[in-house]
Chains A and B, each alone.
Chain A
Amino acid sequence: MNYPVWQLDFSGGGLLIALIAVLHVYISHFAIGGGLFLVLTEMKGYREGSQPILDYTRQHTKFFLLLTLVLGAITGVGIWFTIALIAPAATSILIHNFVFGWAIEWVFFLGEIVSILIYYQTFGRMERRSHLLIGWLYFIFAWLSLFAINGIIGFMLTPGEWLATGNFWDGIFNPAFWPALFFRTFLCLMLAGLYGFLTSTAIKEEAFRLRMVRYCAAWLLAPFLLFLASAWWYVQALPEPQRAWIANFSPELAPFLTVFLWASVLLFLGGLIMVIRLPKTATRSLAVVLLLLGITYMGAFEYIREGSRRPFTLYGHIYANSILVKDLGAVQAKGILASAKWTGKEITAENRLVVGRQLFNIMCSPCHSVGGPMRDIKKMSAKYESVYAMEAEISGQGRLIRCMPPFAGNLQERHALAAYIIEGLHNRKEQTTPPPQLSAPPLAPLPFDPEQDGYVLIAWNSLGMHSISDADGTFSLMPPANDLFAQLIKRGPIPEVVTEGVALSFRVEQGFEKPAAQVGFWKDLPALFGRSLPDNIGLSGQGLSGVMQRKQGGRSFVAEKVPVVPYPAQGGYQPYPSFTIEARDKTTNTLLAATRMVAPVATEMGCKTCHGGGWRRGNTGISTAAAQDILTMHDRFHKTKLAAQVKAGKPVLCQSCHPDPILNGPGKAGLLNLSASIHGFHANFLGGRGAEACALCHPSSPQGATRFLRGIHHEAGLDCTTCHGALEDHALALLLAEKQAGKPGAQRLMQHLTPQGATPLAGIQPRTPWLQQPDCLTCHVNFGPPETDSAFNVWTTGADALYRNRHDDAGSIHCAGCHGSPHAEYPATNPYERERDNFAPRQYQSNPYPLGANRNCKLCHTVDMDTDLHHPNSLNMMRNTRE
């Protein structure tokens, strides 16, 4: 914010610091342990009266000097140069707060130089005691350098009390100081042995070589257990967030932890092998291999240490993007451009990519390269298909993506940054392709003679849209399973709902009879549900045609879990297949009545917007790539092994872990129900976007291939949020119920969500998904015209009170029977063929209005009525009439 950013692209994202730091650290630790090695080996030479040992020590000193004093010391300066270039604000804090620490370290550095030069230059010529004293002084200066630097490095990860006091000593003697000092000291000793292999394996005389190699092996092996113990102590001494980050194998660190653990084993074994008498070439090669393994080891450790600091440069004080924690709120309020010094000050249509780049430089480049090996932004953002999707990802930073700082900018800045990544880096321009033209032929009419016909048959689908996931072979969020309902009414002055002596059958329209030819559900069934079914037969045993069952304890008939899919045999996508329902006399098989209904079913789940992979087919479906990315993300966030499970040929049923009332799935105890977890997770990324957010995943987009909002509410201008609340509110209600149930995951998802509607968090009513939905009567008080424009936060009491299950006041007719399926309330407008959802009212009343509307009581009663028997105000005239 304060400083310009060195725009590095390929070598950005910390590559420079990683390279130079690992090299420096590997040599500088040797510079300490190796110093002790020199003086102790020299003493050994004197003690044993061995000139070869003294000669070896002298040779090793030359190697030591050339390595540590040149490469070691200058790369140390190099780290300082690099951090000042890459993270000047944090470097400035380190310099200004610890200048005396640095100055003290400089004195030690001076002492190191003078002592090692004298030690080298006077080897064999200075009087023994003095020479050993010089050697000891070198080691002391070197170790004191570690002492000082260790305080400052530890401060960066665990500043402890310093955050509150700003006190120098609190910073230096931070919580990790002592364990880190021991850890590094033991490491120094081990490295002395490791580097010692390099010179000792070069000794010509075999017996002496073996002796010195074993001596070096002792240096490597003896401190090993103490080293591992101090590593454990180090981790235990870390404050909770940092400790958990490491101990839980956070996804970012897991590979490095694995490398560290394996390299521990290999180094130890390598040290043991070196003890064995081996040919010179073998030990020499092994010495080089172990040295390379050592730098990998060191690199892994330093990466873990640095990585566990994320998203901060100085934990809890300044973020990696140089924004002080205390300033974040102010920057978010003001905007980045208004707060930063080295950027443009406004975003225009012309400069948005240029400013987006500047925002990227500040916000992203400290950790992300462009096309380079360090967290390449091009690779990591490749799956986001649009600026909008990229913005969603940016929104979630610092929330569930804890290794990243929260985005500090305003909406325009977020957009400019996302535009730079998607349009600037991926050259993906926003495509304004016209929405697909949707059409379907009208359903063939069925006759109804109001004078002659004795029955009215009404039918509906339980859900306004049954969304199925066709991520075949990968996962199932929802299987093909539409529930078709029907009621048969015998007309007469006192009509009767017929439930006995009749058989109701259903039959899908031509072309939809063989869903198994379209989706892989039947292949996945054994893995998903632990059972096999014949092709085209659904989970309750129903096919695409058959006999409806009497609803237990009810007055309707139902065909449960009919496996209809939106892919007709002739190709294309048709999310509104129709079913013909017939009622026949059970004894005579006489056709009493017939009607048609729409069984809405969609595969338009927009996962691909953010998870990549595009649509599965045409404009719909979850591609395998998108599905795999979802599982990979799930694995990353929750340490599952779903991707591997799929790779092993076992697709995942989400409800096998996550409880879900819609499938009666109990899931695993303690886990969030599926709806709460999915909405809760995504609300952290898609907040502040109103109904647009819903359409990213659900098939409600007005430009989509489904457009499932087709009831009169949609025509009246209402959207998803009117009844369900904005995504955050919707998610909060679901999560609150889970929180009350004592599920720990709820709070994690809730903590960053802010209600968008008028109801504050404390007022939001918890709700169980599927069983508690908005209540029509919240707006339509006493069945009258709407009195409010929000149905959010008043939930039906349970499954029986749901619109799809509810009855009229007489307890005979289902609400949906007369008013249509949810989201397709009469008069509905189907995007494929306008009247498709209005088949029954068209058939029975020649209008698209609810059955019996405009006082058409005769439809069932055969005579006019003057009492609102079914519900209050049912004798009112239709308000939402069509031309």
Chain B
Amino acid sequence: MDPTQLIPTPDTIPAPWEFFQLLLILTFFAHLVFMNAMLGSAMIALVREMRAKPADPPPCRDIASILPYTIAFAVNFGVAPLLFLQVLYGHFIYTSSILMGAYWLSIIGLLILAYYSAYLYKMGGDLPRITRIRALTTSILLLLIIAFLFVNNLTLMQTPQNWNAYFQRPDGTLLNLADPTLLARYLHFVVASVAMGGLLLAILALFQQKKGVVGAENRLRGGMQWFTYATMVEIGIGIPFLFSLPKNVHQLFVGGALLHTTLFTASLVTAFFALYYGAKERVWPATAAMGTTILLMVLVRDLARQAYLAPYFHPADLQIVPQWSPMLLFLAILVIGVAVVVYMLKLAARVPREVR
């Protein structure tokens, strides 16, 4: 069946599409940062837990103590871009979600288990090493499965030509495994997480260093090494990923279109800066470079999606029925909410560290 026949008719939007696009990009950027930090730091913690000798004190208590919180924020900042994605691309993401409904819904159960495992790991400083490892491994494996399912859905939503498989399997058990970009895309996200996990480790170590905590320097170095090597691997995966994209899509980024090529090139440049500062163990410049790279990559990713869907749809096609007053209220509440959050964080920052 012609895929254009299958694409649902979208609903109207209450503000110009660019507004939602901006919110989508910003909140997705935040989601990526938290998600990468969460997954990456957990993976590094697991490696350290496995390397530690049974008699050693539990390593990575710093990561353990914040892991559930990074999950909380990864989820919270995941909700927002999913909302704005639904506003702009609802008719695609609903459809692809239904096609893989069983897997997609399983994410909720998997996430709850991953979350509780992370809490067990956080609160399990006194537990035997093997229990800590099991809790953390469970959490990581579940998060990796969730990531894989997300990659499936986000690729399936932009390839309506693959939707016909529904007619053979309407029970929500489709995955987008035949997509040539799937594996590279998945590894691209997972390896990026390792890099961000390393960076998080280094940032935590930097604070510890300032407070004169013993061993902070080693941890900082270790973190930056994770960051640097993972970023190198990341670039290595990124290239085949780029060329696994359909020709009409990847060509846009290698000279086919000015905007696409500029953003992509800029992201490569900032990535090299990140590498450079990583190698130099300069945490904040590396963080700035990495942050910029992620933001550019988010933009590149969005342009790639638009290129994928170009034969069928562009968010500019959506009809606008404006709702200005709710929009203003949202912006006001966002500002107040963020201010209150910042205030609360300040109050919290003043609290002396827990004495163990």
Q: Spell out A's residues near B (CB within 8 Å).
A: 2-9, 16, 20, 66, 69-71, 73-75, 77-78, 80-82, 84-85, 88-89, 91-93, 95-97, 99-104, 106-111, 113-115, 117-118, 121-122, 125-126, 130, 133-134, 137, 166, 168-169, 341-342, 361
* Cα of A115 to Cα of B347 in the assembled complex, Å: 11
Main secondary structure of the interface of A (DSSP, over half): helix
Which 3 residue pairs spanning A and B have beta carbons closest together? A100-B326, A78-B108, A6-B101
Residue among B107, B170, B171 facing the most chain A CB atoms (10 A cut-off): B170
A118 touches B344 (CB 8 A): yes
* Cα of A74 to Cα of B76 in the assembled complex, Å: 10
**Complex partner residue of B351 from A71, A81, A85, A125, CB under 8 angstroms:** A125
A166 touches B86 (CB 8 A): no
Using CB atoms, name the residue of chain B closest to A108: B337
CB distance from A312 to the nearest CB of B (A): 17
B354 touches A125 (CB 8 A): yes
* A to B contact number (C-beta, < 8 Å): 183
CB distance from A321 to the nearest CB of B (A): 15
Using CB atoms, name the residue of chain A closest to B347: A130
**Complex partner residue of A121 from B170, B171, B348, CB under 8 angstroms:** B348
* Cα of A134 to Cα of B354 in the assembled complex, Å: 18
* Cα of A133 to Cα of B76 in the assembled complex, Å: 23
Residue among B80, B107, B330 facing the most chain A CB atoms (10 A cut-off): B330
B94 touches A71 (CB 8 A): no
CB distance from A70 to the nearest CB of B (A): 5
B337 touches A107 (CB 8 A): yes
Using CB atoms, name the residue of chain B closest to A78: B108
B344 touches A88 (CB 8 A): no
Given contacts A93-B11, A96-B87, A122-B351, contact A113 B323 (CB under 8 A): no
B11 touches A100 (CB 8 A): no
B83 touches A126 (CB 8 A): no
**Complex partner residue of B344 from A7, A71, A78, A137, CB under 8 angstroms:** A137
A342 touches B14 (CB 8 A): no
A341 touches B8 (CB 8 A): yes
**Complex partner residue of A4 from B98, B119, B344, CB under 8 angstroms:** B98
Q: Does any Cβ of A come within 8 Å of B313's Cβ?
A: no
Stretch in B67-75, B176-184, B258-266, B286-294 with 4+ CB within 8 Å of A: B67-75
Instruction: A70-B115, A130-B347, A342-B6 are known; give 20 further A-B pairs, CB within 8 A.
Output: A4-B166, A5-B98, A6-B101, A66-B119, A69-B72, A84-B94, A92-B11, A92-B90, A96-B13, A96-B14, A100-B14, A106-B80, A109-B76, A109-B79, A114-B341, A117-B69, A117-B72, A168-B325, A168-B326, A169-B326
Q: Does any Cβ of A come within 8 Å of B252's Cβ?
A: no
In B66-119, the 8 Å CB interface with A consists of: 68-69, 72-73, 75-76, 79-80, 83-84, 86-87, 90-91, 94-95, 97-99, 101-102, 104-105, 107-108, 111-112, 115-116, 119
* Cα of A81 to Cα of B115 in the assembled complex, Å: 18
Q: Spell out B's residues near A (CB within 8 Å).
A: 5-14, 20, 23, 68-69, 72-73, 75-76, 79-80, 83-84, 86-87, 90-91, 94-95, 97-99, 101-102, 104-105, 107-108, 111-112, 115-116, 119, 163, 166, 170-172, 321, 323, 325-327, 329-330, 333-334, 337-338, 340-341, 344-345, 347-348, 351-352, 354
CB distance from B141 to the nearest CB of A (A): 17
Contacts of B101 in A (CB 8 A): 6, 85
Contacts of A89 in B (CB 8 A): 8
Using CB atoms, name the residue of chain A closest to B12: A96
B9 touches A2 (CB 8 A): yes
**Complex partner residue of B107 from A70, A81, A121, CB under 8 angstroms:** A81
Using CB atoms, name the residue of chain B closest to A1: B8
Contacts of A115 in B (CB 8 A): 344
**Complex partner residue of A81 from B20, B23, B75, B108, CB under 8 angstroms:** B108
Using CB atoms, name the residue of chain A closest to B7: A341
B341 touches A110 (CB 8 A): yes
**Complex partner residue of A88 from B5, B98, B171, CB under 8 angstroms:** B98
A361 touches B330 (CB 8 A): no
B98 touches A85 (CB 8 A): yes
B172 touches A3 (CB 8 A): no
Q: List 11 A-B contacts (CB under 8 A).
A: A7-B171, A7-B172, A9-B171, A70-B116, A85-B94, A88-B8, A88-B95, A91-B94, A96-B87, A104-B329, A134-B348
Given contacts A6-B98, A341-B5, contact A81 B104 (CB under 8 A): yes
**Complex partner residue of B347 from A77, A88, A126, CB under 8 angstroms:** A126
CB distance from A88 to the nearest CB of B (A): 4
B14 touches A99 (CB 8 A): yes
* Cα of A110 to Cα of B79 in the assembled complex, Å: 10
* Cα of A113 to Cα of B99 in the assembled complex, Å: 32
**Complex partner residue of A74 from B23, B75, B87, B102, CB under 8 angstroms:** B75
Contacts of A84 in B (CB 8 A): 86, 94, 97
CB distance from A744 to the nearest CB of B (A): 41
Contacts of B5 in A (CB 8 A): 341
Contacts of B340 in A (CB 8 A): 111, 137
Contacts of B333 in A (CB 8 A): 104, 107-108
A134 touches B14 (CB 8 A): no
Contacts of B99 in A (CB 8 A): 4
A100 touches B327 (CB 8 A): yes
A113 touches B6 (CB 8 A): no
Using CB atoms, name the residue of chain A closest to B9: A2
Given contacts A7-B172, A361-B170, contact A85 B105 (CB under 8 A): yes
* Cα of A97 to Cα of B83 in the assembled complex, Å: 12
Contacts of A103 in B (CB 8 A): 23, 80, 83, 330, 334
Contacts of B97 in A (CB 8 A): 81, 84-85
A71 touches B348 (CB 8 A): no
CB distance from B80 to the nearest CB of A (A): 5
Given contacts A82-B105, A117-B72, contact A88 B112 (CB under 8 A): no
**Complex partner residue of B104 from A85, A117, A126, CB under 8 angstroms:** A85
B87 touches A99 (CB 8 A): yes
* Cα of A4 to Cα of B173 in the assembled complex, Å: 13
Given contacts A70-B116, A168-B326, contact A99 B6 (CB under 8 A): no
Contacts of B119 in A (CB 8 A): 66, 70
* Cα of A104 to Cα of B69 in the assembled complex, Å: 22
Residue among A5, A96, A168 facing the most chain B CB atoms (10 A cut-off): A96
Contacts of B326 in A (CB 8 A): 100-101, 168-169
Contacts of B354 in A (CB 8 A): 125
CB distance from A450 to the nearest CB of B (A): 79
A6 touches B171 (CB 8 A): yes
A122 touches B105 (CB 8 A): no
Contacts of A70 in B (CB 8 A): 68, 112, 115-116, 119
B112 touches A341 (CB 8 A): no
Using CB atoms, name the residue of chain A closest to B163: A4
* Cα of A783 to Cα of B132 in the assembled complex, Å: 102
**Complex partner residue of B323 from A92, A134, A168, CB under 8 angstroms:** A168
* Cα of A104 to Cα of B328 in the assembled complex, Å: 11
Using CB atoms, name the residue of chain B closest to A16: B105
Residue among B13, B69, B76, B352 facing the most chain A CB atoms (10 A cut-off): B76
Contacts of B13 in A (CB 8 A): 96, 99
Contacts of A5 in B (CB 8 A): 98, 170
Contacts of A133 in B (CB 8 A): 347
Given contacts A6-B170, A117-B72, contact A77 B108 (CB under 8 A): yes
* Cα of A161 to Cα of B165 in the assembled complex, Å: 42
**Complex partner residue of B172 from A78, A85, A100, CB under 8 angstroms:** A85
A114 touches B80 (CB 8 A): no
A113 touches B73 (CB 8 A): yes
Contacts of A169 in B (CB 8 A): 325-326
A75 touches B108 (CB 8 A): yes
B98 touches A126 (CB 8 A): no
CB distance from B334 to the nearest CB of A (A): 5
Contacts of A7 in B (CB 8 A): 170-172
* Cα of A74 to Cα of B146 in the assembled complex, Å: 13
Using CB atoms, name the residue of chain A closest to B348: A118
Given contacts A6-B171, A341-B8, contact A113 B72 (CB under 8 A): yes
* Cα of A317 to Cα of B80 in the assembled complex, Å: 27
